[in-house]
């Protein structure tokens, strides 16, 4: 097999892009500045409701989840943040855990409360008919705000399983008002530098109605709360056919795009590897983000992965997702914006679409190779290969054995 001449490929691409008027060094700077958080729960054993398949080497505690997350960062250079889920990651002293993370070259990112797994939450948390359950949920979220203070995290990431399973089960408007009240109580307790992210999901585990079912409902709650409440877009949380890039552009323009939970879906909330099913959609989302960056309105967006795999090696899978996100961002950055503006102005539909397609079809691997060389990463051409050849997975399988902690807290 012939070795790819990455240096040569890079110079060819660089020349081609510069001939088109693209400032390649600024594209590279943007790629170096890209940051995507990975989820602690994505490294632990997980499964479906049909069973959990335990993997040798799966982390046995939260420190080990951070050790694995540090590997994903080591090979990509773009993932130093690790989102935590409470109580799945509880049990350690938070300051000590934050210090341990720093010693590994990573840090604690978004804090995710869990108001869905306790038995009391089976009919909802903030929307529950029972005041004592609502109170318990608010108290837990406030405890998470306190953890954010301790570890210096600016992001409270909220997802609610609240909803009903049967027509007639709940008073939908009353539930909405309960939500507004609970969220307002939390919002009022948060500091100026802290942002509340509100995630939506159309169904599951509630199968009749979900209290925050789509971006419009999340946005309405945010508007009632104030400017530090923003919408979180999880790519798996849309009904088939939803135009996610449109949602992204709309929320950006409203100053309410809080962040992402990246993954990919074929059917519903499949949690598949980012870019595995529809890389063009991911590219189109990134073209909106890059347009927002150019207009100075996308600086605060929090980029996170939310995936929890059953069968693949978790770290290699996370690296695959990070590489897909890097490629999508690179392709969006090389869209010829000047020509696009001309084509749009001339109402040249084919011309405009061809500009998108040309960027999407570009093999950006030489560009990200260069970025990874500059960042001094172990395998600049192929981070997935680099990790798989590093021997880390085999060493942990030996050391930790089978029987790690489950990503679902079990
Ligand atoms: C729910 O499906 C979700 O996307 C939320 O973000 C949760 O916090 C996460 O998955 C983990 O269950
Ligand atoms: Mn999510």
Whether ligand 1 lies within 6 angstroms of the CB of 199 is answered as yes
Q: Is residue 100 part of a domain?
A: yes
pLDDT of residue 407: 61
Question: How do residues 133-189 score in pLDDT, each as one tens digit?
Answer: 999 999 999 999 999 999 999 999 999 999 999 999 999 999 999 999 999 999 999
Q: Is residue 358 part of a domain?
A: no
CA–CA distance, 156 with 328 (Å, rounded to integer)? 26
The CA 161 to ligand 1 mean position distance, Å, reads 9
pLDDT of residue 404: 72
**Sign (positive/negative) of CA torsion 201, 203, 206, 211?**
positive
Whether ligand 1 lies within 6 angstroms of the CB of 37 is answered as no
Residue nearest to atom 8 of ligand 1 (CA): 159
**What residues pack around ion ligand 2 (CB closer than 5 A)?**
234, 261, 306
Question: How do residues 248-297 score in pLDDT, each as one tens digit?
Answer: 999 999 999 999 999 999 999 999 999 999 999 999 999 999 999 999 99
Q: Tell me the average pLDDT of the chain.
A: 96
> How many alpha carbons fall within 13 Å on the CB side of residue 247?
24
Residues 199-213, mean pLDDT to the nearest whole number: 98
Residue nearest to atom 6 of ligand 1 (CA): 159
Q: Which of 254, 344, 333 is nearest to 286 (CA)?
A: 333
3-state helix, strand, coil in the chain (%, to 5): 50, 15, 40
Residue nearest to atom 3 of ligand 1 (CA): 159
Torsion, Cα of 271, 61, 392, 36 (10° steps): 40
List Cβ neighbours of 292 (8 Å cut-off, separation of 6 or more).
249, 252, 257, 298, 301
Look up the pTM and report it: 0.97
Whether ligand 1 lies within 6 angstroms of the CB of 271 is answered as no
Q: Is residue 82 part of a domain?
A: yes
CA angle 257–115–167, rounded 5-degree value: 90
Residues 231-258, mean pLDDT to the nearest whole number: 98
CA–CA distance, 25 with 194 (Å, rounded to integer)? 33
Q: Which of 258, 88, 282 is nearest to 158 (CA)?
A: 258
The lowest-confidence range among 147-156, 308-317, 367-376 is 308-317
Q: Is residue 318 part of a domain?
A: yes
List Cβ neighbours of 175 (8 Å cut-off, separation of 6 or more).
124, 127, 162, 211
Residue nearest to atom 10 of ligand 1 (CA): 306
The CA 395 to ligand 1 mean position distance, Å, reads 30
Instruction: Provide the domain limits for residue 89.
Output: 34-336
Q: Which of 113, 197, 205, 234 to mutate to test the pocket of ligand 1 (most atoms within 8 A of CB)?
A: 234
The ligand placed nearest to the CA atom of residue 113 is 1
Q: Is residue 18 part of a domain?
A: no
The CA 113 to ligand 1 mean position distance, Å, reads 10
| Beta-strand runs (E) in 185-290 | 195-199, 209-210, 229-234, 257-262
Q: Residue 408: pLDDT band by 50, 70, 90 thresholds?
A: low
The ligand placed nearest to the CA atom of residue 41 is 1
Q: Is residue 217 part of a domain?
A: yes
Question: How do residues 17-47 score in pLDDT, each as one tens digit?
Answer: 999 999 999 999 999 999 999 999 999 998 8
List Cβ neighbours of 152 (8 Å cut-off, separation of 6 or more).
98, 107, 108
List Cβ neighbours of 342 (8 Å cut-off, separation of 6 or more).
348, 351
Q: Residue 238: pLDDT band by 50, 70, 90 thresholds?
A: very high
Domain containing residue 224: CATH number: 3.20.20.150
pLDDT of residue 343: 98
Residue nearest to atom 12 of ligand 1 (CA): 408
Residue nearest to atom 1 of ligand 1 (CA): 159
Count of domains observed in the chain? 1
pLDDT of residue 406: 67
Is the model's pLDDT at 68 over the cut of 50?
yes
Whether ligand 1 lies within 6 angstroms of the CB of 261 is answered as yes
pLDDT of residue 410: 43
Q: Is residue 21 part of a domain?
A: no
CA–CA distance, 264 with 281 (Å, rounded to integer)? 10
Is the model's pLDDT at 1 over the cut of 90?
no
Q: Is residue 26 part of a domain?
A: no
pLDDT of residue 403: 80
The ligand placed nearest to the CA atom of residue 268 is 1
The CA 145 to ligand 1 mean position distance, Å, reads 18
Is the model's pLDDT at 405 over the cut of 80?
no
pLDDT of residue 169: 98
Closest ligand 1 atom to 234 CA: 4
CA–CA distance, 402 with 55 (Å, rounded to integer)? 6
Q: Which of 65, 156, 158, 199 to mutate to test the pocket of ligand 1 (most atoms within 8 A of CB)?
A: 199
Whether ligand 1 lies within 6 angstroms of the CB of 269 is answered as yes
Task: Give the residue carrying structure tokens 């869990």.
Answer: 114
Instruction: Please state the length of the chain.
Output: 410
The CA 328 to ligand 1 mean position distance, Å, reads 23
Whether ligand 1 lies within 6 angstroms of the CB of 234 is answered as yes
Q: Residue 366: pLDDT band by 50, 70, 90 thresholds?
A: very high
The ligand placed nearest to the CA atom of residue 114 is 1
């Amino acid at each position: 097999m012939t070795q790819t001449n990455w240096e040569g490929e890079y110079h060819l691409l660089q020349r081609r892009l510069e001939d088109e008027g693209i400032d390649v060094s600024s594209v590279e700077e943007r790629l170096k500045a890209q940051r995507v958080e990975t989820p602690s729960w994505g490294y632990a054993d997980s499964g479906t409701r049909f069973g959990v398949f335990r993997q040798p080497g799966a982390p046995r505690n939260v420190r080990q989840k951070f050790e694995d997350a540090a590997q994903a960062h080591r090979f990509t250079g773009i993932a130093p943040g690790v989102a935590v889920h409470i109580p799945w990651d509880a049990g350690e002293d938070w300051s000590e855990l934050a210090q341990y993370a720093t010693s590994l070259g990573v840090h604690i990112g978004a804090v995710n409360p869990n108001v869905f797994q306790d038995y009391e939450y089976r009919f909802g948390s903030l929307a529950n008919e029972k005041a004592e359950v609502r109170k318990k949920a608010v108290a837990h979220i406030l405890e998470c705000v306190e953890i954010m203070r301790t570890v210096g995290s600016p992001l409270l990431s909220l997802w609610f399983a609240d909803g009903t399973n049967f027509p007639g089960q709940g008073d939908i408007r009353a539930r909405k008002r309960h939500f507004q009240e609970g969220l307002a109580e939390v919002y009022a307790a948060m500091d100026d530098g802290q942002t509340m992210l509100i995630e939506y999901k159309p169904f599951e585990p509630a199968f009749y109605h979900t209290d925050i079912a789509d971006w419009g409902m999340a946005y309405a709650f945010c508007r009632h709360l104030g400017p530090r409440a923003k919408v979180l877009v999880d790519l798996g949380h849309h009904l088939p056919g939803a135009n996610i890039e449109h949602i992204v552009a709309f929320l950006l323009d409203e100053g309410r795009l809080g962040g992402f939970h990246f993954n990919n879906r074929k059917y519903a909330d499949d949690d598949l590897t980012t870019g595995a099913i529809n890389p063009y959609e991911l590219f189109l989302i990134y073209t909106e983000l890059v347009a927002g960056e150019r207009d100075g309105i996308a600086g605060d967006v929090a980029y996170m992965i939310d995936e929890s795999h059953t069968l693949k090696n978790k770290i290699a899978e996370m690296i695959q997702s990070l590489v897909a996100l890097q490629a999508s961002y690179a392709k969006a950055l090389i869209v010829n914006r000047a020509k696009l503006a001309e084509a749009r102005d001339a109402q040249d539909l084919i011309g405009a679409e061809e500009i998108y397609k040309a960027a999407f079809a570009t093999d950006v691997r030489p560009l990200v190779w260069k970025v990874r060389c500059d960042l001094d990463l172990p395998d600049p051409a192929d981070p997935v290969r680099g990790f798989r050849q590093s021997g880390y997975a085999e060493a942990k399988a030996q050391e930790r054995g089978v029987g790690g902690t489950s990503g679902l807290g079990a």
